[in-house]
Amino acid sequence: MTFGERLTKAVEVYGPLCVGIDPHPSLLDAWGLSRTAEGLERFALTAVEAFGGRVSMVKPQAAFFEAYGSRGVAVLERVISELRDSGTLVLVDAKRGDIGSTMAAYAEAYLGEGSPLAGDAVTVSPFLGFGSLQPALDTARANGRGVFVLALTSNPEGAEVQRSVAPDGRTVARTIIDFATARNSGISPCGDVGLVVGATIGETDVDLSGFNGPILAPGFGAQGGSVADLKRLFGPDMRNVFPTSSRDVLRHGPDVSSLVSAVQRVQESL
């Protein structure tokens, strides 16, 4: 099955919510855990227990695991493995982007068959040119995986680049969206190239109605994004929009039942 097919089936069962696993030091403190690899592992596996088999997609933030070196990366590998074993799609939030053989190596690490870091999809950065992503795009398609390309991010600094106008009159974001749209052309039920469009970006003239792919919408929940913001930004048809909530859910830990209840409340609000 293609990534788009698997994602569509997951949404039919669980709805569109994507929950993040962000082991931020302040959350480890709030859960009464040490800022060590042991604390990280306990935090992450508790989240896996709460989210696995209950949401369509889980997004572990790679940086919070990498901060603990090889032991942290080993925890990330276990998180990916256990979530996938539960039948939950895993989007590794690594935001990788480079050129040539280096991008090919990133693609193999996060999208290659048999790699312990390969989830079902990975976030990538197109700001070295959309064409630089070709190794990741090709590896994802060959292995039934997906990529989510940064387009209009929720951080305010992003506008400095993403809303800049290219010589052809299009904004950088529009150029990225057009490339991604072309890549997904003719694929049903949706393509394997997704976009990252923040729920908190405010008013935008970017038209996403012709985009045949999943849209990850971070900024929902703790960062201030609401259901009303999502509908205003994406319109009434949000079949392929995946609101992402991390801290707003994780703050209810470490009790697993409280985390599960928090997920259910967010799901019901969408």
Which of the four pLDDT bands, split at 50, 70 and 90, describes residue 206? Answer: confident
Which one of the listed residues 9, 59, 95, 231 is annotated catalytic? 95
Q: Tell me: pLDDT of 182 over 90.
A: yes
Please, where are the H alpha helices in the chain?
Answer: 3-14, 25-30, 37-51, 62-66, 69-85, 100-111, 134-142, 159-162, 172-183, 227-234, 247-250, 256-269
Q: Note the pLDDT of residue 128.
A: 97
Specify the CATH number for the domain of residue 47. Answer: 3.20.20.70
Instruction: Tell me the HSE value of 164 on the side-chain side, using a 13 A CA sphere.
Output: 8
Mean pLDDT, rounded, for 180-188: 95
CA distance 16 to 242: 5
Total domain count, the chain? 1
Q: Note the pLDDT of residue 201.
A: 72
Which of the four pLDDT bands, split at 50, 70 and 90, describes residue 270? Answer: confident
Residues in the chain: 270
Task: Quickly count: other Cβ atoms within 10 Å of residue 36's Cβ.
Answer: 13
Task: Quickly count: other Cβ atoms within 10 Å of residue 40's Cβ.
Answer: 24
Q: Note the pLDDT of residue 219.
A: 80
Q: Which residue, 28, 8, 17, is CA-closest to 260?
A: 17
pTM exceeds cut of 0.85: yes
Q: Note the pLDDT of residue 225.
A: 66
Q: Tell me: pLDDT of 47 over 90.
A: yes
List the domain range (segments joined by +) for residue 167: 3-269
Q: Tell me: pLDDT of 125 over 70.
A: yes
Q: For this structure, is 95 an active site residue? A: yes
